[in-house]
Amino acid sequence: MLKSKTFLKKTRAGGVLKIVREHYLRDDIGCGASGCAECCRTQEGPALEPRPRDPESSLCPQPHYLLPDTNVLLHQIDILEDPIIRNVIVLQTVLQEVRNLSAPVYKRIRDVTSDLSKHFYTFTNEHHRDTYVEQEQGENANDRNDRAIRVAAKWYNEHMKKITADDNHPQVIFITNDIKNKEKAIEEGIPAYTCEEYIKSLTANPELVDRLACLSDEGNEIESQKVIFPEHLPLSKLQQGIKSGVYLQGTFRASRENYLEATVWVHGDDEENREIILQGLRNLNRAVHEDIVAVELLPKSQWVAPSSVVLQDEGQNGDDVEDEEEKENTLKTAINEKMLRPSGRVVGIIKRNWRPFCGMLSKSDIKESRRHLFTPADKRIPRIRIETRQASTLEGQRIIVAIDGWPKNSRYPNGHFVKNLGAVGDKETETEVLLLEHDVPHQPFSRAVLSFLPKMPWSITEEDMKNREDLRHLCICSVDPPKCTDIDDALHCRELENGNLEVGVHIADVSHFIRPGNALDQESAKRGTTVYLCEKRIDMVPELLSSNLCSLRSNVDRLAFSCIWEMNHNAEILKTRFTKSAINSKASLTYAEAQMRIDSATMNDDITTSLRGLNKLAKILKRRRIDAGALILSSPEVRFHVDSETHDPIDLQTKELRETNSMVEEFMLLANVSVAKKIHEEFCEHALLRKHPAPPPSNYEVLVKAAKAKNLDFKTDSAKALADSLDRVESPDFPYLNTLFRILATRCMMQAVYFCSGMDNDFHHYGLASPIYTHFTSPIRRYADIIVHRLLAVAIGADSTYPDLTNKHKLADLCKNLNFRHKMAQYAQRASVAFHTQLFFKNKGIVNEEAYVLFVRKNAIVVLIPKYGLEGTVFFEEKDKPKPRLAYNEEMPSLKVEDTEFHVFDKVKVKVTLDSSNLQHQKIRMSLIEPQIPGVSGPTDSTTLNTDEPEKKRSKLEN
Amino acid sequence: MAGLELLSDQGYRVDGRRAGELRKIQARMGVFAQADGSAYIEQGNTKALAVVYGPHEMRGSRSRALPDRALVNCQYSMATFSTGERKRRPHGDRKACEMGLQLRQTFEAAILTQLYPRSQIDIYVQVLQADGGNYAACVNAATLAVLDAGIPMRDFVCACSAGFVDGTALADLSHVEEAAGGPQVALALLPASGQLALLEMDARLHEDHLQQVLEAASQAARDVHALLDRVVRQHVREAALLLGD
Range with the largest mean pLDDT of A89-98, A238-247, A761-770: A89-98
Q: Cα(A800)–Cα(A189) distance, rounded to whole angstroms?
A: 62
Looking only at the bridges linking them, the beta strands covering A275-279 and A292-297 are unpaired
Which positions ≥6 away from A732 have C-beta within 8 Å? none
| The pLDDT value given to residue A377 | 79
> What average pLDDT does the segment A619-633 reach?
84
**Phi/psi zone of residue B49: left (φ > 0), alpha (ψ -120 to 50 degrees), beta?**
beta
Closest residue in chain B to residue A19, using alpha carbons only = B84
Task: Please state which CATH number belongs to domain A230-307+339-353.
Answer: 2.40.50.690
Which positions ≥6 away from A15 have C-beta within 8 Å? B85
Number of neighbouring beta carbons within 10 Å of residue B134: 24
Own/partner long-range contacts of A105-110 (Cβ < 8 Å, ≥24 apart): A105/A73, A105/A74, A105/A77, A106/B2, A108/A77, A108/A81, A109/A73, A109/A77, A109/A80, A110/B9
Question: How many Å lie between the alpha carbon of B188 and the closest alpha carbon of chain A?
Answer: 24
Closest CA to A192 of A180, A200, A183: A183
Closest CA to A810 of A500, A516, A399: A516
Q: Cα(A558)–Cα(A570) distance, rounded to whole angstroms?
A: 31
Better pLDDT: A168 or A382:
A382
- Does the domain made of A845-930 have the CATH classification 1.10.1370.40? no
Tell me which residue in B1, B2, B23 faces A22 most closely, judged by beta carbons.
B23
What tens digit of pLDDT does each residue of A15-48 get?
A: 667 777 888 888 888 887 776 766 755 555 567 7
What tens digit of pLDDT does each residue of B58-85 get?
A: 887 888 889 999 999 999 999 998 887 7
Confidence class of residue A878 from pLDDT cuts 50, 70 and 90? low
Tell me which residue in A25, A99, A122 faces B5 most closely, judged by beta carbons.
A99
Domain at A45-211, CATH homologous superfamily = 5'-nuclease (3.40.50.1010)
The answer to whether residue B245 neighbours chain A at the CB level (below 8 Å) is no
Q: What is the pTM of this model?
A: 0.64
**Beta pairing partners, A529:** A782
Indicate yes or no: CB of A803 within 8 angstroms of CB of B16.
Answer: no
The answer to whether residue B3 neighbours chain A at the CB level (below 8 Å) is no
**Phi/psi zone of residue B101: left (φ > 0), alpha (ψ -120 to 50 degrees), beta?**
alpha
> What average pLDDT does the segment A210-237 reach?
66
Confidence class of residue A217 from pLDDT cuts 50, 70 and 90? very low
Domains in chain B with CATH codes: 25-243 (3.30.230.70)
What ipTM was reported for this prediction? 0.89
- Residues A59, A192 contacting (CB under 8 angstroms): no
DSSP A475: -
The answer to whether residue B212 neighbours chain A at the CB level (below 8 Å) is no
- The sign of the torsion formed by the CA atoms of A392, A396, A401, A406 equals positive
Residue A273: what are its φ and ψ, rounded to 5°? 50, 35
Residue A265: what residue type?
W
Q: Where are the beta strands (DSSP E) in B8-70?
A: 25-29, 37-43, 46-57
Edge-first strand listing for the sheet containing A247-254 = A275-279, A261-266, A247-254, A292-297, A344-351
> What average pLDDT does the segment B35-61 reach?
92
Q: Cα(A76)–Cα(B123) distance, rounded to whole angstroms?
A: 61
- Residues A97, A70 contacting (CB under 8 angstroms): yes
Q: Report chain A residues touching chain B, CB-CB < 8 A.
A: 1-2, 5, 15, 17-26, 92, 96, 99-100, 103, 106, 110, 113-114, 122, 124, 126-127, 800, 802-803
Closest residue in chain B to residue A805, using alpha carbons only = B206
B214: buried, middle or exposed (CB in 10 Å: 19+, 13-18, 0-12)?
Answer: middle
What tens digit of pLDDT does each residue of A73-109 get?
A: 888 888 888 888 888 889 989 988 888 887 778 888 8
Closest CA to B154 of B122, B114, B101: B114
Number of neighbouring beta carbons within 10 Å of residue B104: 18
Indicate yes or no: CB of A122 within 8 angstroms of CB of B12.
Answer: no
* Optimal mutation site among A3, A17, A24, A31, interface B, most CBs of chain B within 10 A: A24
> What average pLDDT does the segment B111-130 reach?
94
- Residues B142, B102 contacting (CB under 8 angstroms): no
Residue A881: what residue type?
K
Task: Give the DSSP per-residue string, A291-314.
Answer: -EEEEEEPPGGG-B------B---
The answer to whether residue B10 neighbours chain A at the CB level (below 8 Å) is yes
Q: Cα(A138)–Cα(A143) distance, rounded to whole angstroms?
A: 10
Q: Furthest-apart CA pair in chain B: how many Å?
A: 63
| The pLDDT value given to residue B38 | 96
Closest residue in chain A to residue B17, using alpha carbons only = A24
Q: Cα(A607)–Cα(A594) distance, rounded to whole angstroms?
A: 9
Residue A119, pLDDT above cutoff 50? yes
Tell me which residue in A19, A106, A126 faces B84 most closely, judged by beta carbons.
A19
The answer to whether residue B24 neighbours chain A at the CB level (below 8 Å) is yes
Better pLDDT: A212 or A270:
A212
Indicate yes or no: CB of B16 within 8 angstroms of CB of A802.
Answer: no
Residue A393, pLDDT above cutoff 90? no
Tell me which residue in A15, A96, A803 faces B204 most closely, judged by beta carbons.
A803
Q: Cα(B71)–Cα(B91) distance, rounded to whole angstroms?
A: 21
Closest CA to A567 of A477, A671, A480, A717: A671
Question: How many Å lie between the alpha carbon of A37 and the closest alpha carbon of chain B?
Answer: 20
The answer to whether residue B17 neighbours chain A at the CB level (below 8 Å) is yes
Tell me which residue in A25, A113, A802 faces B206 most closely, judged by beta carbons.
A802
Indicate yes or no: CB of B15 within 8 angstroms of CB of A23.
Answer: yes
Number of neighbouring beta carbons within 10 Å of residue A750: 14
CATH 2.40.50.140 maps onto chain A at 845-930
The answer to whether residue B93 neighbours chain A at the CB level (below 8 Å) is no
Closest residue in chain B to residue A12, using alpha carbons only = B84
The answer to whether residue B204 neighbours chain A at the CB level (below 8 Å) is yes
Q: Over pLDDT 90: what percentage of chain B?
A: 67
Residue A312: what residue type?
Q
Closest residue in chain A to residue B183, using alpha carbons only = A803
For residue B14, list chain A residues with Cβ-Cβ distance below 8 A. 21
Residue A868: what residue type?
Y
CATH 3.40.50.1010 maps onto chain A at 45-211
Indicate yes or no: CB of A20 within 8 angstroms of CB of B131.
Answer: yes
Closest residue in chain A to residue B86, using alpha carbons only = A17
Residue A492, pLDDT above cutoff 60? yes
Closest residue in chain B to residue A20, using alpha carbons only = B45
- Residues A591, A481 contacting (CB under 8 angstroms): yes
CATH 2.40.50.690 maps onto chain A at 230-307+339-353
For residue B21, list chain A residues with Cβ-Cβ distance below 8 A. 1-2
